[in-house]
């Protein structure tokens, strides 16, 4: 209330000051204008009478002079006329004025002495009067003076009217300002504050049993920052309570599940306060420009999804290539920035690459060479000497940046990610043999015959074996790697311990099936409220009318089997026309590596396939396939996961594919069916999915049909079992296993 009063008083004083200043200015201008107008009219009349009056004075024709004075004395606002002799005494005058004019009249005397007209305001008979006096001349000599007396009281009346009008205007403005201020304060400040206070009280006092209130903070644009922080606080409180309840439930079990808190405590014990250094090509947060605004986005891909929660826990340092067009503007003098922006938890250190380096190292050797080499998808790998040179150069650049960051660290723990940085482990170990280096390979590892295509296979293998630990998603890839090393390098392979010894250095090779943060995709209240209406809302937003929904989430990559998936949908509708108009498949596709011709051609193929299928089957209000080509947020993707009847993961060859696990994690309603490729690593764990061969269009079409007709009980049982697998083998367990294996490496492992 005090704030409102102070605000109103301040506004009223400001309006009063402005009104007063404007009124003073208006009065002054009006007074000057009216005085000038009066002077002009008086001087014109005086000049018209001057000659006649001067002649009559000279000829002493007093009767005629008196007639003229009386004639002009009754005009509008002209009080009268007076004629004076050389001594300033009255010769003739309008009778009503004579009592108020002193004799001799000083103004007349002054005018004759100065031989120039004069004017002034004076009180005549109790009335403010404007007097204009001018000398009379005959034959070049002054023979008297004439004065015109005008009523000037109307000027004061006009000025008082202006003050009165502005006072009324001020009072009206004041009432309007007070009213508007009270309304705005009530609607935009005090009202929202009261609702926020009530909402926070209910959340704080645990009246929000379901966690629903934590996601429905009252709105208020002026208080957006406060509401944002309050929402984060409420969500954190709700999450903390949920975790506490979960921990209480788990305490009755023989072994508790891996969670963020458990991993944090585990890492604290394993690392002993040491910092974790993670290196990858792709950065977890990218800053881009949209007009004049800088936005922070999360690049698509399983690596970021998997590792960002780990780095949040340990407050480590993530070293990555800065690829956003606003990345340089957001770092400090040391090329670092704290992330994520809304809740900084760890440090991102960016490495800058030239266009030539990025073209040769990333688009060339990594993604035209190593990527198709490791993914057996019948795409010929391309190896160019200049790309290999840039690949080595960029790996050296990453090594130089990393060595600076770990310079003051004793036995630092370094986790290197993926095929872009295969040479980095050896480059680091050569300079820092005390470092404990782990390399995790996120894509498949081919058999020795396939890998032998690479002209620099020995250099790649030696770089990787610089690590103390090399991890893959599944055991099959570990076996392929050991076979490849055994084929191309002189080394000792221990198949019992799954290790390689070479030049006095031992590298362990183990499988670590990567996963997702299970609770990150679980929102029981949202699912309970939206599971039915959500699907209809998504259809309305996308302009499609259907009853059943399928979803696919992918980077647009030739390893994902996207055209095959669309052809399977086409075949499904061919075989089962009763689903025309009933089933729509939404593909959330993130464009990727569009600089590479193969990816450019793939995008054209995908769009052409969508158009072909839609052209065959679409109606006025329905399409079988909706292709949403964009980088979608986790929140957007999660909505489609929860609403979908089926999710299709049809990878032609994939290391793991976290989309399958994300879909399972999101379905806390234990509904929906997962159709999963047998060539994705996730198929080893999620055996209750409908496992298919993505090259078999008929099998995929039949799987879609079976999914849509599956009994609710069977769907629920399958999903419950898959959710249990993902819950127990989540991202925290993966991180714990990987970091534990790396942290427990003995110094002798790297130096004997």
Give CA–CA dist 366/372, Å, rounded: 9
125 plus 145 within the same structural domain: yes
Question: Does the structure show a pLDDT above 80 at 192?
Answer: no
Question: Does the structure show a pLDDT above 90 at 27?
Answer: no
527 plus 505 within the same structural domain: no
pLDDT score at 752: 37
Give CA–CA dist 134/148, Å, rounded: 9
Spacing of C-alpha 528 from chain mean position: 28
Question: Does the structure show a pLDDT above 80 at 241?
Answer: no
425 plus 285 within the same structural domain: yes
The number of residues in the chain equals: 752
pLDDT score at 143: 80
pLDDT digits (tens, 9 = 90+) for 296-321: 888 765 567 667 877 888 888 999 99
Query: Are 295 and 287 a contacting pair, CB within 8 Å?
Result: yes
Question: Does the structure show a pLDDT above 90 at 427?
Answer: yes
Is residue 737 situated within a structural domain? no
**Continuous H helices in 138-190:** 153-184
Question: Does the structure show a pLDDT above 90 at 666?
Answer: yes
The DSSP bridge pattern shows strands 141-151 and 127-138 to be: antiparallel
Using 50, 70 and 90 to split pLDDT, how confident is the model at 3? Answer: low
Mean pLDDT of the region 504-511 = 94
- For the four alpha carbons of 518, 519, 525 and 529, in that order, the dihedral sign comes to negative
Using 50, 70 and 90 to split pLDDT, how confident is the model at 748? Answer: very low
Q: Is the peptide bond before 484 cis (omega within 30 degrees of 0)?
A: no
pLDDT digits (tens, 9 = 90+) for 151-175: 877 778 888 888 888 888 888 888 8
Residue 660 neighbours by CB under 8 Å, 6+ apart: 647, 649, 674, 676, 680, 682, 686, 689
469 plus 401 within the same structural domain: yes
Question: Lowest-confidence range among 87-96, 122-131, 296-305, 404-413?
Answer: 296-305
Mean pLDDT of the region 223-250 = 64
128 plus 183 within the same structural domain: no
Number of compact structural domains in the chain:
4
Question: Does the structure show a pLDDT above 90 at 201?
Answer: no
pLDDT digits (tens, 9 = 90+) for 568-611: 999 999 999 999 999 999 999 988 888 888 888 999 999 999 99
Question: Does the structure show a pLDDT above 60 at 253?
Answer: no
Say which residue, 485 or 7, is predicted with more confidence: 485
Question: Lowest-confidence range among 218-222, 490-494, 653-657, 663-667?
Answer: 218-222
603 plus 723 within the same structural domain: yes
Largest interatomic CA distance in the chain? 148
Using 50, 70 and 90 to split pLDDT, how confident is the model at 122? Answer: confident
pLDDT score at 343: 87
**CA-to-CA separations, 57 to 29, 131, 144, in angstroms, rounded:** 40, 20, 8
pLDDT score at 621: 87
Give CA–CA dist 125/151, Å, rounded: 11
pLDDT score at 609: 96
Is residue 248 situated within a structural domain? no
State which of 27-36, 237-246, 383-392, 628-637 shows the largest mean pLDDT. 383-392
Query: Are 147 and 160 a contacting pair, CB within 8 Å?
Result: no
pLDDT score at 524: 46
Question: Lowest-confidence range among 231-235, 367-371, 699-703?
Answer: 231-235
Instruction: Please give the order of strands across the beta sheet that includes 90-93.
Output: 90-93, 78-84, 141-151, 127-138, 118-124
Question: Lowest-confidence range among 258-267, 304-313, 317-326?
Answer: 304-313
Mean pLDDT of the region 712-740 = 93
Question: Does the structure show a pLDDT above 90 at 369?
Answer: yes
Query: Are 733 and 741 a contacting pair, CB within 8 Å?
Result: no
Helix 697-709 to helix 562-575 angle, to the nearest 10 degrees?
Answer: 60
Query: Are 392 and 427 a contacting pair, CB within 8 Å?
Result: no
Question: Does the structure show a pLDDT above 70 at 226?
Answer: no
Residue 360 neighbours by CB under 8 Å, 6+ apart: 384, 386, 387, 389, 390, 391
Query: Are 73 and 93 a contacting pair, CB within 8 Å?
Result: no
203 plus 269 within the same structural domain: no
Is residue 723 situated within a structural domain? yes
Is residue 255 situated within a structural domain? no
pLDDT digits (tens, 9 = 90+) for 50-106: 777 776 666 666 666 667 666 665 566 677 788 888 888 888 887 777 777 888 888
pLDDT score at 525: 47
Say which residue, 226 or 505, is predicted with more confidence: 505
Using 50, 70 and 90 to split pLDDT, how confident is the model at 254? Answer: very low
Question: Does the structure show a pLDDT above 70 at 245?
Answer: no
543 plus 673 within the same structural domain: yes
Domain's final residue, options 511, 542, 575: 511
Task: Say which CATH number the domain at 422 has.
Answer: 3.40.50.2000
313 plus 457 within the same structural domain: yes
Query: Are 318 and 336 a contacting pair, CB within 8 Å?
Result: no
Say which residue, 9 or 205, is predicted with more confidence: 9
474 plus 333 within the same structural domain: yes
Using 50, 70 and 90 to split pLDDT, how confident is the model at 283? Answer: very high
The closest alpha carbon to 521, from 217, 228, 726, belongs to 726
- For the four alpha carbons of 466, 472, 478 and 481, in that order, the dihedral sign comes to negative
Residue 600 phi, psi dihedral angles, 5° rounding: -65, -45
Question: How confident is the prediction for the chain on average, in pLDDT?
Answer: 85
Is residue 431 situated within a structural domain? yes
Give CA–CA dist 164/88, Å, rounded: 42
pLDDT score at 175: 87
Using 50, 70 and 90 to split pLDDT, how confident is the model at 751? Answer: very low
Say which residue, 552 or 261, is predicted with more confidence: 552
pLDDT score at 263: 82
Is residue 100 situated within a structural domain? yes
530 plus 655 within the same structural domain: yes
Structural domain span for residue 19:
2-151
Say which residue, 43 or 167, is predicted with more confidence: 167
Is residue 160 situated within a structural domain? no
Instruction: Please give the order of strands across the beta sheet that includes 469-472.
Output: 336-339, 346-351, 317-321, 276-279, 413-417, 436-440, 469-472, 505-511, 499-502, 492-494
Say which residue, 120 or 666, is predicted with more confidence: 666
pLDDT score at 59: 64
Question: Does the structure show a pLDDT above 60 at 530?
Answer: no
290 plus 437 within the same structural domain: yes
Rg (CA), the chain: 45
pTM of the model: 0.65
pLDDT score at 243: 64
Mean pLDDT of the region 289-294 = 86
pLDDT score at 42: 75
Is residue 198 situated within a structural domain? yes
pLDDT score at 528: 47
Tokens, residue 340: 């994520």
Tokens, residue 193: 């504050």
pLDDT score at 120: 81
Query: Are 143 and 57 a contacting pair, CB within 8 Å?
Result: yes
Residue 112 neighbours by CB under 8 Å, 6+ apart: 86, 88, 135, 142, 144, 145
Query: Are 582 and 575 a contacting pair, CB within 8 Å?
Result: no
Percent of all residues in the chain with a pLDDT value above 70, rounded to a whole number: 86
Mean pLDDT of the region 434-453 = 94
Question: Does the structure show a pLDDT above 60 at 750?
Answer: no
């Amino acid at each position: 209330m005090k704030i409102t009063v102070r605000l109103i008083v301040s506004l009223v004083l400001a309006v009063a000051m402005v009104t007063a200043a404007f009124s003073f200015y208006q009065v002054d201008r009006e007074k000057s204008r009216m005085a000038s107008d009066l002077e002009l009219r008086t001087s014109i009349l005086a000049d018209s009478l001057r000659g006649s009056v001067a002649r009559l004075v000279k000829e002493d024709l007093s009767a005629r002079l008196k007639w003229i004075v009386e004639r002009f004395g009754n005009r509008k606002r002209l009080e009268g006329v007076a004629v004076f002799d050389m001594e300033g005494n009255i010769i003739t005058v309008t009778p009503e004025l004579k009592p108020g004019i002193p004799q001799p009249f000083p103004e007349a005397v002054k005018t004759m002495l100065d031989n120039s007209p004069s004017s002034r305001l004076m009180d005549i008979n109790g009335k403010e009067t404007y007097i204009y006096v001018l000398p009379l001349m005959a034959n070049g000599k002054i023979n008297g003076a004439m004065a015109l007396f005008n009523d000037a009281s109307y000027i004061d009346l006009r000025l008082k009217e202006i003050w009165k009008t502005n006072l009324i205007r001020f009072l009206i403005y004041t009432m309007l300002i007070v009213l508007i201020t009270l309304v705005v304060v009530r609607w935009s400040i005090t009202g929202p504050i009261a609702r926020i206070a009530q909402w926070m009280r209910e959340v704080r006092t645990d009246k929000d049993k379901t966690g629903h209130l934590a996601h429905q903070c009252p709105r208020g644009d002026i208080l957006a920052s406060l509401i944002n922080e309050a929402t984060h606080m409420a969500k954190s409180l709700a999450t903390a309570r949920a975790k506490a309840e979960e921990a209480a439930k788990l305490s009755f079990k023989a072994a508790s599940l891996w969670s963020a808190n458990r991993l944090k405590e585990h890492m604290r014990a394993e690392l002993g306060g040491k910092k974790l250094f993670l290196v990858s090509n792709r950065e977890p947060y990218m800053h881009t420009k949209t007009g004049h605004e800088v936005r922070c986005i999360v690049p698509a891909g399983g690596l970021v999804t998997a590792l960002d929660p780990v780095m949040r826990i340990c407050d480590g340092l993530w070293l990555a290539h800065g690829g956003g067009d606003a990345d340089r503007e957001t770092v400090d003098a040391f090329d670092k920035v704290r992330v994520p922006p809304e809740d900084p938890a760890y440090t991102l250190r960016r490495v800058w690459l030239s266009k030539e380096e990025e073209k040769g190292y990333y688009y060339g050797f990594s993604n035209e060479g190593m990527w198709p080499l490791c993914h057996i998808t019948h795409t010929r790998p391309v190896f160019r000497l200049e790309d290999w040179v840039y690949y080595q150069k960029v790996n050296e650049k990453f090594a130089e940046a990393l060595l600076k960051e770990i310079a003051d660290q004793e036995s630092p723990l370094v986790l290197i990610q993926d095929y872009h940085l295969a040479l980095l482990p050896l480059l680091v170990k050569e300079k820092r043999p005390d470092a404990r280096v782990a390399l995790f390979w996120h894509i498949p590892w081919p058999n020795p015959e396939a890998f032998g295509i690479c002209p620099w296979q020995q250099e790649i293998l030696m770089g990787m074996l610089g690590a103390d630990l090399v991890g893959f998603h599944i055991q099959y890839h570990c076996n392929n790697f050991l076979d490849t090393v055994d084929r191309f390098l002189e080394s000792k392979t221990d198949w019992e311990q799954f290790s390689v010894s070479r030049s006095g250095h031992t590298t362990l090779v183990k499988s670590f099936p990567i996963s997702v943060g299970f609770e990150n995709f679980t929102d029981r209240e949202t699912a309970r409220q939206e599971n039915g209406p959500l699907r209809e809302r998504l259809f309305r937003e996308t302009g499609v009318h259907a009853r059943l929904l399928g979803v696919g989430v992918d980077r647009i990559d030739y390893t994902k089997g996207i055209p095959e998936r669309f052809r399977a949908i086409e075949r499904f509708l061919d075989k089962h026309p009763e689903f025309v108009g009933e089933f729509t498949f939404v593909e959330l596709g993130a464009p990727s590596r569009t600089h590479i011709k193969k990816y450019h051609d793939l995008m054209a193929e995908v769009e052409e396939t969508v158009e072909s299928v839609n052209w065959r089957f679409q109606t006025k209000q329905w399409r079988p396939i909706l292709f949403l080509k964009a980088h979608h947020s986790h929140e957007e993707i999660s909505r489609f996961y929860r609403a979908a009847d089926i999710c299709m993961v049809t990878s032609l060859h994939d290391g793991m594919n976290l989309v399958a696990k994300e879909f399972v994690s999101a379905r806390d309603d234990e509904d929906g069916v997962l159709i999963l490729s047998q060539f994705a690593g996730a198929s080893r764990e999620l055996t209750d999915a409908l496992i298919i061969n993505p090259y078999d269009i008929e099998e995929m079409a039949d799987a879609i049909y079976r999914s849509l007709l599956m009994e609710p009980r069977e769907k629920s049982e399958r999903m419950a079992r898959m959710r249990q697998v993902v819950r127990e083998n989540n991202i925290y367990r993966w991180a714990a296993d990987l970091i534990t294996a790396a942290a427990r490496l003995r110094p002798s492992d790297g130096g004997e």
